[in-house]
Amino acid sequence: MPTTQSTPPETVVELAGLSKQFGSTTALDGVSLTVRRGEVVVLLGLSGSGKSTLLRHIDALDLPSAGSVKVLGEDVPALSGRRLRALRSRVGFIFQQFELVPSLSVLENVLTGALAELRGPRLGLWSYPKSKKLRALAHLDRVGLLDRAYQRADTLSGGQQQRVAIARALMQNPSILLADEPVASLDPESSDQVMALIREIAYEEGLTVLCSLHQVDLAIAWADRIVGLRHGAVVLDMPATGLSKAQVMEIYGRVATSTDEFEAVQTELMNEAAR
């Protein structure tokens, strides 16, 4: 077992007064959030509520307009060069669109997760050391795709591609796993597989997970803690255990006072009820 679970919980992500403007659009509006080691946090919100932007700030893919971002004890916006890359290598990122290199083999895609540990550019399987290849194969085995190692990434189904992306993130030996709508492009069955995999890995390795979702029932099923976002602000933050879908929907609906969004939430609720 990793040693992380025996130590007392510590803060790994600390956002304070985080705001982000894109031109005249406000994507994040004074978000403060603290995440402890080993927590599985689901960010819940509609499209455009700021979930992706929040996650991107934790990995320094976006820089804040105001406020502070502290990850693993580092002041993220102040990082650059080697130290920035060192932080990024400790934070795995899973994208909605998988973002694999389509023309490369599955194995090479997983290996790109180890680039931060290697020096210099790499092109082709031969350019990676054997120890890394073995580890990549082990991670592929874990996500159940060992037999696809030498296939091109774009020959895989969506669910399989996302599992390769998870293997790539694991290749980084991350402390934190960020997942931006990891199942939004998948069918329900693959969604469950991918969410189960993320959850399982998080528990086994003691990873901290921040995952954005827009489906309430998925959030309840997989989260320790649910954080609701609306118009770039935190409107809900509570443990997920013991919550029912109706309760979350109610709270979520009450805070979504704008009629447009309230209707959108309701429609979604009714759609899901009908299924």
Beta bridge partners of 6: none
Tokens matching residue 129: 């050391």
**Of 29-68, which residues contact another protein (CB under 8 A)?**
47-48, 52, 59, 61
Task: Spell out the SS3 assignment of the chain.
Answer: CCHHHCCCCCEEEEEEEEEEEECCEEEEEEEEEEEECCCEEEEECCCCCCHHHHHHHHCCCCCCCEEEEEECCEEHHHCCHHHHHHHHHCEEEECCCCCCCCCCEHHHHHHHHHHHHCCCCCCCHHHCCHHHHHHHHHHHHHCCCHHHCCCEHHHCCHHHHHHHHHHHHHHCCCCEEEEECCCCCCCHHHHHHHHHHHHHHHHHHCCEEEEEECCHHHHHHHCCEEEEEECCEEEEEEECCCCCHHHHHHHHHHHCCCHHHHHHHHHHHHHHHHC
Choosing from 77, 125, 215, 243, the residue that interacts with another protein (CB under 8 A) is 125
Residue 175 sits in the site that holds another protein (CB under 8 A) = yes
Residue 80 sits in the site that holds another protein (CB under 8 A) = no
Choosing from 33, 42, 91, 256, the residue that interacts with another protein (CB under 8 A) is 91
Choosing from 82, 189, 241, 242, the residue that interacts with another protein (CB under 8 A) is 82
Residue 138 sits in the site that holds another protein (CB under 8 A) = yes
Task: State in angstroms the smallest separation of the CB of 42 from another protein.
Answer: 19
Residue 149 sits in the site that holds another protein (CB under 8 A) = yes
Residue 203 sits in the site that holds another protein (CB under 8 A) = no
Residue 146 sits in the site that holds another protein (CB under 8 A) = yes
Residue 93 sits in the site that holds another protein (CB under 8 A) = yes
Q: What distance in Å separates the CA atoms of residue 128 and residue 110, rounded to the nearest whole number? A: 11
Choosing from 15, 169, 197, 198, the residue that interacts with another protein (CB under 8 A) is 169
Choosing from 15, 87, 194, 216, the residue that interacts with another protein (CB under 8 A) is 87
Q: Give whichever of 46 and 248 is closer to another protein, judged by the CB atom.
A: 46
Task: State in angstroms the smallest separation of the CB of 200 from another protein.
Answer: 12
Q: Give whichever of 204 and 246 is closer to another protein, judged by the CB atom.
A: 204
Using only the alpha carbons of the chain, give its radius of gyration. Answer: 19
**Of 229-248, which residues contact another protein (CB under 8 A)?**
231
Residue 164 sits in the site that holds another protein (CB under 8 A) = no
User: Are residues 96 and 184 in contact, defined by beta-carbon separation less than 8 angstroms?
Assistant: yes
**What angle do the packed helices 130-142 and 158-171 form, to 10 degrees?**
130
Residue 256 sits in the site that holds another protein (CB under 8 A) = no
Number of residues that bind another protein (CB under 8 A): 70
Binding residues (CB under 8 A) for another protein: these are 2-4, 22, 25, 47-48, 52, 59, 61, 72-74, 82-93, 95, 97-105, 112-116, 118, 120-123, 125, 131, 133-135, 137-142, 146-147, 149-150, 165, 168-173, 175, 205, 231
